[in-house]
Amino acid sequence: MALFDLTGRVALVTGANTGIGQGIALALAAAGADIAAVGRSAADETAAKVRSMGRRCELVSADLSSAAPVTEVVDTVVSKLGRLDILVNNAGIIRRADSLDFTEADWDAVMDTNLKTLFFLCQAAARHMTGWASQTGQRGKIINVASLLSFQGGIRVPSYTASKSGVAGLTKLLANEWATKGINVNAIAPGYIATNNTAALQADETRNRQILERIPEGRWGAPEDIGGAAVFLASKASDYVQGQVLAVDGGWMGR
C-alpha cells in the first residue's frame, strides 16, 4: 500500500457539513476513503462532492451536544459502511464572554460538546478498532481537532480554552493507552482558517490586518490546508506518530 493511500478505509468525520470538517472529509475521500458525515446539520454538499469522486458517503444525523448518541452513531457507521478505520473529531462550539460574567450553562455546553462527547466517541470507535486491528495488522487512526488555544490562553473564551487544552491532554493520554492496541491518536490544531465561522474576523479590517501580520505565510489558511494534515495522520505514513498536536497555522505559533 502506498503511504498516503486510504483506499478501502472508512472515516467518520463529525461536523463535516462545512468549513474545516468538510475540507477534511473531502481530502480523505480524495485519498480513497469512504466517509460517514456525522452531525446535527445535513452534509448534503459534502456527500455530493465525496460521491462525485467515486467514494461512498453516508449521512448520520446526531446531536453531539451530549454523549448520548455516541454508541449508536458508531454502530450505525459500521452497519452502513462495514467497518470504521478513522475517526475525526471535528465538531465543536464556542461561547464568548468576559470570565467575570461567564455562565455555568455556557461552560457546560462547550465542555460537553468539545471534550466529553469527543472522549466517548474516541472510546466507542476504539472499542471497534481494537477488535480488528490485532487480526488484520492495520492500525486505527483517531484525529482530534484541537486549537491554537490548546497552547495559548486567549481571552473571553474560558470554556473553549479549557476544552481545547483538554483535547490536547486527552490525545496524549489515549495515545499512551492505545498505541499497543493498534491505534494512533493525534490531533490537529488549526490556525486562522477562512470559513463561515471566521467571516466576522476577516471582515474586520483592523483585526484582519493584525492577524495577517502575525502569520509568516501572510494569508489565512483554507480548509484544504487542514485536509492534507488529516490525510497524513489517517494514513500509514503516520504509523509511528503518537500523541502529537500538529499546529497547521502558517507559522503562527513560531512567531
The residues annotated with a catalytic role in the active site are 160
End-to-end Cα, the chain, rounded Å: 38
Distance, CA of 182 to CA of 48 (rounded, Å): 32
Decide the pairing of beta strands 183-190 and 57-61. unpaired
Decide the pairing of beta strands 57-61 and 86-89. unpaired
Distance, CA of 224 to CA of 146 (rounded, Å): 17
Distance, CA of 146 to CA of 159 (rounded, Å): 13
Q: Could you give the angle at the alpha carbon of 78 between the alpha carbons of 69 and 188, nearest 5°?
A: 70
